[in-house]
Amino acid sequence: MSVWRRVACAVLLLVAAVSLAANVLAPAGYAKQYREAADSGPSSAHWLGTDEIGRDRFARVLYGTRISLLLAPAAALLSTLMAALVGGLAGYLGGGWARGAMAITDLFLSLPWLFLLIMVRALMPLNVSPLVSVLVTFLMLGLLGWTSAARVLCASAGSLRDSDFVRQARASGVRGARLFWIHVMPNLKPVLYAQFWISIPAFILSEANLGILGLGVAEPMPSWGSLLKELEGLVSVGSEPWKFVPLILLAVVVTSFQIVMSKQEEVAA
Amino acid sequence: MLGQRIARHGLTILATALVGGLLAATLVRFAPGFDTDEAQLDPHLNSVSIQALRQSRMEQNNIVRFYFHSLQRAFKGDLGTSISLGQPVSTLLRDRAPLTLRLVGMGLLLSWAATLAMALSAAWLRVSAYDALSTIISGTLLCIPAAVLALLSVLWNVPGALAIALIVFPRDYRYARNLLAKAYSQPHIVTARAKGLSELRILFWHVVPVVAPQLLALGGVSVSLAIGAAIPVEALCGLAGVGQLAWQAALARDLPLLMNITIMVTLVTLLATSSADVIGHVLRGQEA
């Protein structure tokens, strides 16, 4: 493992650990308001200042990081499983199944990712509880983000279908689901791992985009998207630099994921 | 052979756009709040008007019938009327498309100019420090959400096209750099360099024919990326283009508008990727 990958892993572990300890480290809950100190700058009481309704920004960054860092991998897991099921099965079955499945993926891929996300998210209930909005946002990312991975898996499973060991297993009487689960799926693991790792930063960025456009996690629940929405009210970049902390943290985490997955990308290709 | 390829692409584009439109219409139909209309609460309307409004909504309940009626009308040039904006969809699209086309076109132009300049100079110079610097620049841009870049463009008073270019550039650059680096490491190019051929001659005679089809394919994909980027840029920069219209249509659950925008976006995206594929096929044929 290269030095850079070790550093990236350490950064990710540190950020995850700090965000998981938000209950201990944060001076208050993410929704607690200090109305006497609304929209204030950094101080000893509020390290990153407070937002326009007096909520401690440091606490919100910690809790927001926890939500984004925990749910993006969950959404990535869901999308990878769907890709394995649709792409893997279509590639294994071949023929009309593969063509049908690929036609569906082509349909999804023909629309720009952000356009598809905005369209689908806007059509879902918007005035829901914060917890439901978190689930809806990340569930949608997981349910829509499987298509490009399915293409790769379909091609990989298709090549495995005609491989010697699968032919031998078939000749030995192994059929159907057993052949798929015991012989084909384990050989798709490297591609699945790669797709899982690639999806995480993509979903983190997608949630941030949705949050800034007001279609992400609902208030008062924080996420990187909703925290970045604060940048909309800035007059100039240098006026309140502490508002850029969520952006810097997001960039550091996404960069770390990209360094960690640099090897995985080669497998996915 | 080429005719068959074009025909196949044409049919795929048409079928995908039609199914995409139907899916968009179905999604909107089953979205919460579809049956309600703010206009029905207007105290100035009498019972007959309210009944007429309800009737017009009822007509959209059968989604397949609504979709085929819309298609029939579309063939006659009538794309329906926007529910939220109260204007003909064709007028809205005609008014706003030029801005988006300009924005996306300029964004793509800037992005590709930067991509080719940086990828080519990295391949020519072969200096690890320059390669690392260009990778850091593209990597940093890749880690910033598109909507943040749009917000920053407002803060710095930068044109929207540049924001689109900054969103598309890192995606294009990574592939273009790898493609060119791979092409320049091929034995016949190393030999050409050793024999003292000029860099320009190597580029146009040996590298471009190899990488052109793949770069074209990447160009097709970058159109889709630029259209996607136009949504946050237009929505957050207050630019009245199709991206902003799509955003407003999605929020207002405006079925006729959303359906037509989806078909339009699908058509443009598929047309770009298919054109890149067909031109790439022609180039490969010439090379062979």
What's the pLDDT tens digit per position in B165-219? 999 999 999 899 999 989 998 998 889 888 988 888 998 888 988 899 889 989 9
What residues contact A60, with CB distance under 8 A and at least 6 apart?
A30, A51, A222, A227
Q: Do A122 and B147 touch (CB under 8 A)?
A: no
Q: What is the pLDDT of residue B60?
A: 67
B253 lies within 8 A of chain A by CB: yes
Angle between helices A113-122 and A185-212 (to 10 degrees): 70
Residue B286 has pLDDT above 70, yes or no: no
Least confident of B37-46, B61-70, B129-138: B37-46
Q: Do A122 and B253 touch (CB under 8 A)?
A: yes
Express each pLDDT in A20-40 by its tens digit: 999 999 988 999 999 988 989
Q: What is the pLDDT of residue B59?
A: 67
| B contacts of A64 (beta carbons < 8 Å) | none
Q: Do B270 and A212 touch (CB under 8 A)?
A: no
Closest C-alpha to A116, from B269, B98, B71: B269
Nearest CA in chain A to B16: A107
What gap in Å lies between CA B152 and CA B125, rounded to an integer? Answer: 32
What gap in Å lies between CA B251 and CA B135, rounded to an integer? Answer: 37
Residue A123, classified by CB atoms within 10 Å of its CB into exposed (0-12), middle (13-18) or buried (19+), is: buried
Angle at Cα A161 formed by Cα A155 and Cα A165, nearest 5°? 130
Interface test with A, best of B151, B152, B167 (most A CBs within 10 A): B151
Nearest CA in chain A to B242: A115
What gap in Å lies between CA B168 and CA B222, rounded to an integer? Answer: 7
Q: What is the pLDDT of residue A139?
A: 92
The 3-class secondary structure across chain A, one letter per residue, is CCHHHHHHHHHHHHHHHHHHCHHHHCCCCCCCECHHHCCCCCCCCCCCCECCCCEEHHHHHHHHHHHHHHHHHHHHHHHHHHHHHHHHHHHHHCHHHHHHHHHHHHHHHCCCHHHHHHHHHHCCCCCCCHHHHHHHHHHHHHHHCCHHHHHHHHHHHHHHHCCHHHHHHHHCCCCHHHHHHHHHHHHHHHHHHHHHHHHHHHHHHHHHHHHHCCCCCCCCCCCHHHHHHHHHHCCCCCCCHHHHHHHHHHHHHHHHHHHHCHHHHHHHC
| B contacts of A254 (beta carbons < 8 Å) | 142-143
Q: Do A234 and B144 touch (CB under 8 A)?
A: no
| B contacts of A107 (beta carbons < 8 Å) | 16, 19-20, 23
B146 lies within 8 A of chain A by CB: yes
Residue B144 has pLDDT above 80, yes or no: yes
Query: B184 with B123: CB under 8 angstroms?
Result: yes
A11 lies within 8 A of chain B by CB: no
| B contacts of A236 (beta carbons < 8 Å) | 155
Mean pLDDT (chain B, rounded): 87
- The residue among B155 and B109 whose pLDDT is bigger is B109
Single-letter amino acid code for the residue at A149: A
| B contacts of A111 (beta carbons < 8 Å) | 20, 262, 265-266, 269
Nearest CA in chain B to A251: B143
Query: B259 with B70: CB under 8 angstroms?
Result: yes
What's the Cα-to-Cα distance from A243 to each of A23, A232, B102, rounded to whole Å? 22, 10, 33
What residues contact A125, with CB distance under 8 A and at least 6 apart?
A132, A136, B32
Q: How far is B195 from chain A (nearest CA, A)?
A: 33
A265 lies within 8 A of chain B by CB: no
Q: pLDDT-based confidence at B226, cuts 50/70/90?
A: very high
Tell me the β-bridge partners of B81.
B88
| A contacts of B27 (beta carbons < 8 Å) | 119-120, 123
Q: How far is A212 from chain B (nearest CA, A)?
A: 7
Mean pLDDT of B125-143: 90
Angle between helices B242-252 and A113-122 (to 10 degrees): 30
- The residue among B47 and A17 whose pLDDT is bigger is A17
Angle at Cα A205 formed by Cα A203 and Cα A211, nearest 5°? 100
Express each pLDDT in B84-102 by its tens digit: 888 999 999 999 999 999 9
Q: How far is A78 from chain B (nearest CA, A)?
A: 21
Residue with tokens 């006026």: A239
**What percent of chain B shows pLDDT beyond 70?**
94
Mean pLDDT of B44-55: 77
Nearest CA in chain A to B155: A236
Q: Do B246 and A118 touch (CB under 8 A)?
A: yes
Residue A34 phi, psi dihedral angles, 5° rounding? -110, 85
Least confident of A138-142, B38-42, B173-177, B229-233: B38-42
Closest C-alpha to B224, from B111, B119, B116: B111
What gap in Å lies between CA A117 and CA B142, rounded to an integer? Answer: 19
Chain B from 24 to 83: CB within 8 A of any A CB = 24, 27-28, 30-32
Residue B35 has pLDDT above 70, yes or no: no
Q: What is the pLDDT of residue A265?
A: 62
Tell me the β-bridge partners of A56.
A50
Tell me the β-bridge partners of A73.
none
Q: How far is A250 from chain B (nearest CA, A)?
A: 8
Q: Which of B140, B155, B231 sits opposite A234 (nearest CB)?
A: B155
Q: Which residues of B1-25 are buried (b: 16+ CB within 10 A; e: fewer)?
A: eeeeeeeebeeebeebbebbbbbbb
Express each pLDDT in B250-275 by its tens digit: 888 787 888 889 889 988 998 998 88
Low-confidence residues of chain A: pLDDT under 50: none
Q: Do B227 and A228 touch (CB under 8 A)?
A: no
Closest C-alpha to B259, from B35, B77, B67: B67
Single-letter amino acid code for the residue at A2: S
Chain B from 178 to 207: CB within 8 A of any A CB = none
What is the distance of C-alpha B212 from the center of its chain? 21
Express each pLDDT in A208-245 by its tens digit: 999 998 888 888 999 999 999 988 888 777 788 999 99
Chain A from 139 to 198: CB within 8 A of any B CB = none
Residue with tokens 């204030």: A40
A232 lies within 8 A of chain B by CB: yes
Q: pLDDT-based confidence at B53, cuts 50/70/90?
A: confident
Residue B36 has pLDDT above 80, yes or no: no
Query: B183 with B207: CB under 8 angstroms?
Result: yes
Tell me if residue B161 falls in helix, strand or coil.
Answer: helix
Chain A from 111 to 130: CB within 8 A of any B CB = 111-115, 118-125
Q: Which of A125, A209, A251 sits opposite B232 (nearest CB)?
A: A209
A247 lies within 8 A of chain B by CB: yes
What gap in Å lies between CA A169 and CA A157, rounded to an integer? Answer: 15
Residue B194 phi, psi dihedral angles, 5° rounding? -65, -30
Tell me the β-bridge partners of A33.
A55
